Amino acid sequence: MFHAESVRSPEISPLVWRPIYETGIADLDAQHRRLFELVAEVGERARLPGGDRAATFEEIFDRLADYAQFHFDYEEDLLAAADLPQAKRQAHQATHQAFIRQLQDLWRERNGFEHAGETLHRFLAAWLTDHVLEEDLVTGLGRRSGPAAG
C-alpha cells in the first residue's frame, strides 16, 4: 500500500518490512524487523543536516553493527542445529562475516563518498533484503528453505 507520509526524499526510499520477508521463525522474524528499523533509522539520520548527522551517525552505525552480530550468532546457532550440509552452513556464515567486513570498510571510507549517508543507507537496504530473501530463506532458515527454494 502507498503511504504518502513515508515518502520523504527522492534519494532515500524508505525500507519497509513486508510479509514476503517472514521466515516463520518468530525470534528470527523479530530480529529481522529490528534490523529493518535500524536501517530505516540510518536513512532518517542521513537526511539530517551535516553537523547533526555526524553527531548521531556513528551511534546508529555501532548499534546496527552490534545488532547484526548478535543476529548472525543467533542464526548460526540455528543453522548448526539444523540438518544441513556443512558446506551450505559455512557458505551462509561466510556471508555474515563478509557483511561485517563491508560495514567496517564503508565506515572507514565514508568521508570519501560525496553523499555518505545516502550511500551507506543504500548499501544497508540492499544488503538487508538480500540477507533475508537470498540467504536466510534459501539456506535452511524458514518456510522457503530447501533445494527447491529460490
Residue in the structure block whose three cell numbers are 561485517: 100
Stretch that binds Fe ion, among 44-52, 73-81, 102-110, 111-119 (CB under 5 A): 73-81
Distance (Å, rounded) from C-alpha 60 to C-alpha 83?
A: 36
Distance (Å, rounded) from C-alpha 67 to C-alpha 35?
A: 8
Per rule CB under 5 A, count of chain residues that contact Fe ion: 3
Stretch that binds Fe ion, among 2-10, 59-67, 110-118, 128-136 (CB under 5 A): 128-136
Q: How far is the CB of 66 from Fe ion (least distance, A)?
A: 15
According to CB under 5 A, which one of 12, 22, 43, 136 is a site residue for Fe ion?
A: 136
Is residue 22 part of the contact set for Fe ion (CB under 5 A)?
no
Rg (CA), the chain: 16
Distance (Å, rounded) from C-alpha 119 to C-alpha 98?
A: 18
